[in-house]
Structure 1
Amino acid sequence: MVAAGDAGSIGIADKLGIDTDSAVQEIGWDEDVDDELRAAIEEHIGADLLDEEADEAVDVVLLWWRTDDGDLVDALVDSLATLADNGVIWVLTPKTGRDGYVEPSDIAEAAPTAGLTQTSSVSVAQDWTATRLVSPKSVKARR
């Protein structure tokens, strides 16, 4: 059973590009989040996810977002406060047909307004999709 857990933590962390030494902050937690996904990331990084109150620099922000959560641009700008220069924001949204579903176009429109670039989207759990956002300078630095 340990091997299966290890495979899950490595799989989801790899999918999201999270290194074992990454500092990961979680914003927008609610009872509907995928606890297996959270546990897999915590297992991979060997630490708890930092909460919304954390003020240290982080490599990754996991932003759980639903259609009724407010203004996505504001949430993205707030997420940038602790994000390291080459950090990544993953916007986790419910999949099509699930409560709180967010249109992909809403993310595509909010990202540039917040000074971010959308690079990819992946399925990360049964009910959640993740969209990767980075600062444009991060995209240029990787080339």
Structure 2
Amino acid sequence: MVFAQEVRAAPDAVFHALADDVPGWADWFRQVRLARPLGDGGEREIRLVGGTRFRETILAAKGPEVYAYRVDTVNAPGLRALVEEWRLIPAGGGTRVRWTFAADGPLVLRLALKAARPGMGWAFRDAVRALDRRLAG
């Protein structure tokens, strides 16, 4: 799944919020209750509303263009693989934020994700707008 949203903030500011201010995710992404770097910063712990927990490994942190990570462990059943990429593209004095979400699991999980697509798009756009407001303030 791919979602995109334009913001006024510059790519370097958005990248900093994604890659360097990991705890700040809980302030602008409504579904995130806790975000913290682990070890030397190459891993993260994420806790979502509803109790889902992830341990992730950062795959790419190439500022100010791309931030990507994979889920190594999750307490949600059926998820075999999950990778997310945030690509930041300069656009009209701001940034086009493109989020790619790729997951693998049994058919029931894939169908559930397909049904959840509109809600995931709404959550992404809401989060990115909140991040833009945070960066403007």
TM above 0.5, one fold?
no
* Higher RCO structure, 1 or 2 (CA under 8 Å, sep 6+): 2
Larger strand share, 1 or 2: 2
